[in-house]
Amino acid sequence: SKPVELTPPAAKLADFTAKFGVTWSQALGEGIVYNAVDACDVLGVDAEALDSQWALAKASGDLLKFGGGFYVGKLSRAQAGKGSSLVPSANDILSDMPRSLYGGFDALSFPNGSLDDTEKMLLFPESVIKTAVDTLKEVAIDDFKGENYERAVKHLTVALSLDEKSHVLYSNRCTAYIALEHYEKAMEDADECVRLQPSWAKGYLRRGSVYFRMGQLEKSEIVLKEGLELDPGNDALKKELEAVMNAIAERMARQRESLEAKEKAIEAFNEQNYKGAVDLLKKAIKLDPDNHIFYSNRAAAYMALEAYEKALADADECIRLQPSWAKGYSRRGAALFRMDKLGPARDAFEKGLELDPENATYVRCTRQELQLVMDAISQRKEESLEFKERAIEAFNVQNFKRAEQHLSSAIELDPENHVFFSNRAAAYMAMEKFDRALKDANECVRLQPTWAKGYSRQAAAFLSMGDLPSAREACLKGLDLEPGNMQVKDELRRVEIAESLSLKDSATEAFKAQDYEKAVEDLTSAITLDPSNQVFFSNRSVAFTAMQMYEKALEDADECIRLQPTWAKGYSRRAAAKFHLGDLQAAKLSYSKAWDLEPNNAKTKADLEHVLSEIAGMKVVLPDRDSDAPKR
């Protein structure tokens, strides 16, 4: 088709003008609109290059759906050498689509794994979409017959990208997913099939088949019967429903047999034949593995046999199968209590009481068991506190190993006391076992996330391990909880000092690389963190001097001297700044002071000689001075 042969609707003509700033009739009159074949000739490009330019136009938003199976795209001058619009013709571009589908389908690549409307019209114009879809469907059928189910899914997925409203395609892909045992995806396709065509019986067959294979027999029965209401003579539906009903009957038979085994197990349990009860319940579970009561009863039998780990495993499976059944938690609590896991046992009993507060018998029995747990916890807490006091005594005499041992005993008795972990973390820190200290600090925070001291323990361990960002973060969390906590503040101060020293090292490296601005930046940050360190001012004074910013160098030298008036280097920094500012007398005095403080410093002596030589106009050499000689 030629552009002049198109009759776009009025709304599309208005969209064209709004998009490209020219009317359709103007574009035709100026001869700047071409179909794909003519465009190749006019632009001097082949089909592949034209496709690339079309993709660029699409990416830049210069495409418009023009109706009648056509899109119009504007190519920029940078793409084509002149402004132009292209109206690709379906027949011009893809006359051989079916052959290409058969011959090289695997080589096709689609952006983002699917086709949007624009790409669809470019690759598969309306005149050949049906042929392409039918071809893909037939290829997928061949794939399925050859048991190449993944390839069938692939072909059907592309077909659906061309015809997303085809209930048959969803039905077919559902079948492929079932063969792959991808039941969730199969159900999605079955549901979409039914949604698109609710009066098509086969959609219900697909949905019922998925339910069947997922073990949801009652749902499968309901759906299949719905399909038969639409098509009472459908043999496939009848056959599938018969299979489902047989499965239901077999399950019911297994359930009856399993319940008989359960009753016999109860008799054995009452006769204190606990091993026999376990064996019978194993049989019941094999017949009906989804019955939570069987696991509960076997847990009781295992408890009687003192096989507490097995009892706990059965209690947990009972809870998994029926998480709202209180008795499962009682089974769990009883097993944990006998396994000496008092905290989790308490939690299990309390959960059971929360779930069934109206059952008077259950509540009475469970509270009795819970009280035994609470009594044991109380007794252990008292014992654990004794170990804590012994640990404090050992720590105070710097016997950190003994302190760690006492605290480990305390934790064994009361593993929920965050203070014990905090104290043991301190002992590990003293022994320089920083990884263990961090582990205990983390556990302290987990047990009591609102206790600021736990975060100070974390920070101390992180700091000792060189992880300054994590140390700072821990301190800030602690201060969020308790802004006035001095222990956390002190730890943050240590972190800031470490950070400032790291910045100083970074500044030194920058200075060596002659990146003086970076050196000043790092030292300024270091000073912000620790304004009491005279070395930072001294070093920044040197950097300012290298940048010929002598006034700033002098300010830093003066601050260095104020912070540490007996440190010779501060006077050397002041002397250097004064020298460059032209104040030789002041430079002489500062170098002299530095030499007085460090009489053996050869560099200071050489610097002083240089200043004196400048003042005298001749070379001046000073005699060496003994450090014990009287100072001027």
Q: d(Cα 300, Cα 296) in Å, to the nearest integer?
A: 7
Q: What distances in angstroms separate CA 174 from CA 193, 198, 211, 234, one per listed residue?
A: 9, 16, 12, 19
Number of domains in the chain: 1
pLDDT in tens, 195-243: 999 999 999 999 999 999 999 999 999 999 999 999 999 999 999 999 9
pLDDT, average across residues 570-580? 96
Strand order through the sheet with 70-75: 33-35, 84-87, 70-75, 63-67
CB atoms closer than 10 angstroms to residue 357: 11
Q: How many CA atoms lie within 13 A of 379 on its CB side?
A: 7
Token pair 């606990």 in the structure block, residue: 274
Instruction: Write down the residue that tokens 């030298």 correspond to.
Output: 557
How crowded is residue 17: how many other Cβ atoms within 10 Å of its Cβ? 15
Spatial contact of 63 and 55, defined as CB atoms under 8 Å apart: no
Predicted pLDDT at 632: 45
Calpha distance 206→208 (Å, rounded)? 5
- What percent of the chain stands above pLDDT 90? 73
What does the alpha-carbon distance between residue 244 and residue 221 come to, in Å, rounded to a whole number? 7
> What's the mean per-residue pLDDT of the chain?
87
3-class secondary-structure state, position 547: coil
The whole-number average pLDDT for the span 597-603 is: 93
Between CA 389 and CA 366 the distance in angstroms is: 35
Which tokens in the block code for residue 78?
């940078």
| Residue 342 forms part of a structural domain | no
Q: pLDDT tens digit string along 38-56?
A: 777 767 777 667 767 776 7
Structural domain contains residue 40: yes
Residue 317 within a domain: no
Joined tokens for residue 530: 């620790």
Tell me the DSSP string of 413-442.
H-TT-HHHHHHHHHHHHHTT-HHHHHHHHH
Tell me how many degrees the CA angle 308-314-317 measures, rounded to the nearest 5: 145
Q: Are 585 and 555 in contact (CB under 8 A)?
A: no
- The label of the residue with tokens 């297994």 reads 254
For residue 23, what pLDDT band results from cuts at 50, 70 and 90? confident
Q: How confident is the model at residue 59 (pLDDT cuts 50, 70, 90)?
A: low
| pLDDT at position 262 | 95
Helices and strands, counts by H and E, the chain? 33, 4
The answer to whether residue 62 sits within a structural domain is yes
Number of Cα atoms under 13 Å in the Cβ half of residue 469: 0
Q: Which helix (H) or strand (E) holds 67?
A: strand 63-67
pLDDT tens track for 106-142: 333 333 444 444 433 334 455 557 777 888 899 999 9
Q: Which domain holds residue 51?
A: 3-89
- Cα–Cα dist 269/402, whole Å: 49
Kindly state whether residue 156 falls inside one of the protein's structural domains. Answer: no
- On whether residue 63 sits in a domain, the answer given is yes
Could you report the per-residue pLDDT of 489-538, keeping only the tens digit for each?
999 999 999 999 999 999 999 999 999 999 999 999 999 999 999 999 99
User: Within a domain: residue 361?
Assistant: no
Q: What CA–CA distances, in Å, run from 497 to 23, 286, 502, 503, 629?
A: 70, 66, 9, 10, 38
User: How far are the Cα atoms of 471, 576, 606, 617, 623 from residue 620, in angstroms, in the given order?
Assistant: 54, 18, 10, 9, 10
Contact indicator for 262, 297 with CB cutoff of 8 Å: yes
Burial class (CB in 10 A: 0-12, 13-18, 19+), 502: middle
Quick one: DSSP state of residue 113?
G
Q: Which two tokens stand for residue 465?
A: 């391990």
Torsion on CA atoms 184, 186, 189, 191, rounded to nearest 10: -70
Dig out the tokens for 11 from the structure: 């709304």
Task: Measure Cα distances from 603 to 378, 481, 569, 600, 606 in Å.
Answer: 72, 52, 11, 9, 5
* Residues recorded for the chain: 632
In a domain, residue 563? The reply is: no
Report the C-alpha gap between 415 and 405 in whole angstroms. Answer: 14
pLDDT bracket for residue 428 (50, 70, 90): very high
Average pLDDT over residues 595-620: 92
